[in-house]
Structure 1
Amino acid sequence: MLELVNINSLPVFLLIMVRVLAFFVTMPLFSYRTVPLQFKIGFSFFLAMIMFYTVDSSGIMIDEMFIFLIVKEALVGVLIGLIAFIIVSALQIAGGFIDFQMGFAIANVMDPQTGAQSPLTGQYFNFIALLFLLAVDGHHLIIDGIFNSYDFIPLDTFIPFGNTSIADFVITTFNNMFLIAFQISIPIVGCLFLVDVALGIIARTVPQMNVFVVGLPLKILVSFVAILVFLPLYITLVQSLFSSMFEAMHTLMQLFGGA
């Protein structure tokens, strides 16, 4: 503790805390509004205090570049958390695809965690995914990711934004997010497409039946049954989703470090 109180060690501690705090601003699970702000700040402080004794700080000094180091640390934390948030957003996109076919697209609800409009099925998928993440100690892996980021991006180095591979990787990750969303939603969307085909055939063969009255509750019933049947497959896809999230964080840290 005496070393931490030393005035020469305060700039290093400030840089570490800025990265950790910025990481919690955008990281899934920790960035939600349901997590109190006091907890985020306090947890970032104690986590930075723990990491302070393990991070190489020999090249840090207060000069005219120190303010740019602070900005760099904030960008590193925000961008690493943001790339993970983009991957997890596949759950909301998949829920939007399913709700559009079910007829629930008009029934979006306010997500208390992010403060944005969210589809009902997307919320359901998101809750299951978060419970799965906590069940397999994924939150510990998230914290371990920000801890290992100092091995790839030291405190005294800057991000090579001129490297085009960083932009290419972000675009590829964004494309993979839609691919994962399509994989999650395609079983239910495929079943609803078959229901639409069946209703179209019925409308042509039995004109007396009002398919618009029968179609909506039938599609909702088929959707619930399909979600129940494909839930084990969904758990497997969520496991793959979080593996992709940790891999994307690791790759982005390597690119930031110039690897």
Structure 2
Amino acid sequence: MIPAGLQNVEGQLLVWMVAMIRPGAAFVAAPMFGAQAVPVQLRLVLALAIGIPSASMANMTLPAAGIVSVPGFFMIAAEVMAGLAMGFVIQIAFAASLVAGEAISNAMGLGFASMADPATGQSSPAVGQFLSMVAMFLFLAADGHLALIATIAESYRALPPGQAWLSFSAIGSVVEFGRLAFSAGLSIALPVGFALVLVQLIMAMIARSAPTLNLFAVGMPAALLAGILLLGISMPVMADMLSNALRLGLEQAQILGGGRG
């Protein structure tokens, strides 16, 4: 016979498990939280700490048929979709730094210089990795991680568990928001990339006027030196553009968490 104090333990554990799904899915898709260096146990603890009070605030109840049922499956699927959408738009904002780094690296002649990205484990250009680290510092300095957690918690008011299906317009806004990774990335790379194109044109004119000049021995060091100097000069402007891209990502996450699209 089950003691009276333990009769509702199973139901409470199921409520906690469902409450962890939305923040857990957001942390998997979001940068920094979803990095391979972050232990899975830490993500589970954070998801539990955020999900339990948020679900209690929304008065979450499980389907009458239980979790292992069609209503339970749709409830879990909706939670996963809502969490992934909020985390993915932040990832799109961070992708602008990688796009900018790719463009600058190719213009500098450093397209072959790559390093392992600790967040994804994949190889990325060295300049892109540098800009990604700058974006991460800006995100933390502006309390972006706290803003993301607050957005996830507030989403339980507008999208309570069991009614968290995103509308077609909301899903379409996520797809449309993907253009930010390209437009913002090219805008960030424009000051340095355009100047490096001018350097390449000057080197081409020099090579044309002096055919005996070894262009590869002179052009690549000149482009590399010019790129490093231009990165240092334009870094304040690039940091502002990165901050703007991250702000747009957080605003889009808030729009999705508020049930708007």
Q: Distance in 1 between the 2:10 and 2:243 partners? A: 45
Residue type at the aligned position of 2:209: T
- 2:27 paired with 1:21: no
CA distance in 1, matches of 2:171, 2:46: 31
1:240 is aligned to: 244
Normalised to the residue count of structure 1, the TM-score between the two structures is 0.90
| Conserved 8 A contact 2:151-2:257 | no
Which piece of structure 1 moves more, 222-231 or 133-142?
133-142
Stretch of structure 1 that moved more, 66-75 or 210-219? 66-75
Identity of aligned pairs, percent? 26
2-side partners of 1:15 and 1:127: how far apart?
33
Aligned length: 252
Q: Residue 212 of structure 2 aligns to a residue in which SS? A: coil
1:212 has 2:216 as partner: yes
How big is each residue's C-alpha offset from its partner over 1:193-219, in whole Å with a ceiling of 9 and x where there is no partner? 000110111111122221221001110
> Which sits farther off after the overlay, 84-93 or 222-231?
84-93
Matched, 1:183 2:169: no
1:136 shift after superposition? 2.0
Structure 2 residue 230 is matched with structure 1 residue 226:
yes
User: 8 Å contact 2:207–2:213 — kept in the other structure?
Assistant: yes
Match of 1:135 among 134, 137, 141: 141
Letter in 1 for 2:113: A
Deviation readout 1:147-204 (Å, 9 max, x if unpaired): 111122111214255x2x2343133211122100011101111111000110111111
Structure 1 residue 115: Cα displacement: 1.1
Residue deviations 1:43-79 (CA, integer Å, cap 9, x gap): 212222332432232x543323112211221121122
Given the alignment of the two structures, is residue 62 of structure 1 paired with residue 64 of structure 2, yes or no?
yes
Select between 184-193 and 168-177 the one with higher mean Cα deviation.
Answer: 168-177
User: Counterpart of 1:41 in structure 2: which amino acid?
Assistant: L
Amino acid at match of 2:118: P
AA aligned to 1:20 is P
Partner amino acid for 1:154? Answer: P
Q: What are the within-5 Å matches in structure 2 for residues 34-183 of structure 1?
A: 34-57=37-60, 60-63=62-65, 64=69, 65-160=71-166, 163=168, 165-183=169-187
Label 1:141 to 1:115 Cα distance change in 2 as closer, same or farther (>3 A): same
Does the 8 Å contact 2:92/2:180 carry over to 1? no
- Indicate the SS of the match to 1:105: coil
Structure 2 unpaired stretches of 5+: none
Q: Which moved more, 1:184-193 or 1:82-91?
A: 82-91
**Distance change in 2, residues 1:168/1:22 (3 Å):** closer
Question: Quick one: which amino acid aligns to residue 87 of structure 2?
Answer: G
Structure 1 gaps of 5+ residues are none
Q: Is the 8 A contact 1:153 1:253 kept in 2?
A: yes
Tell me the SS of whatever aligns to 1:109: strand
Q: Secondary structure at the match of 1:219?
A: helix
Distance apart, 1:95 and its partner CA:
0.5
Offset from partner CA, 1:204-243 (integer Å, 9 cap, x none): 1122221221001110100000000001101211210111
CA distance in structure 1 between the aligned counterparts of 2:171 and 2:26, rounded to whole angstroms = 20
Which shifted more, 98-107 or 7-16?
A: 7-16
**Residues 108, 117 of structure 1: 8 Å contact kept:** yes
CA distance in 2, matches of 1:44, 1:91: 27
Deviation (angstroms), 1:19: 0.9
Partner AA of 1:51 in structure 2: S
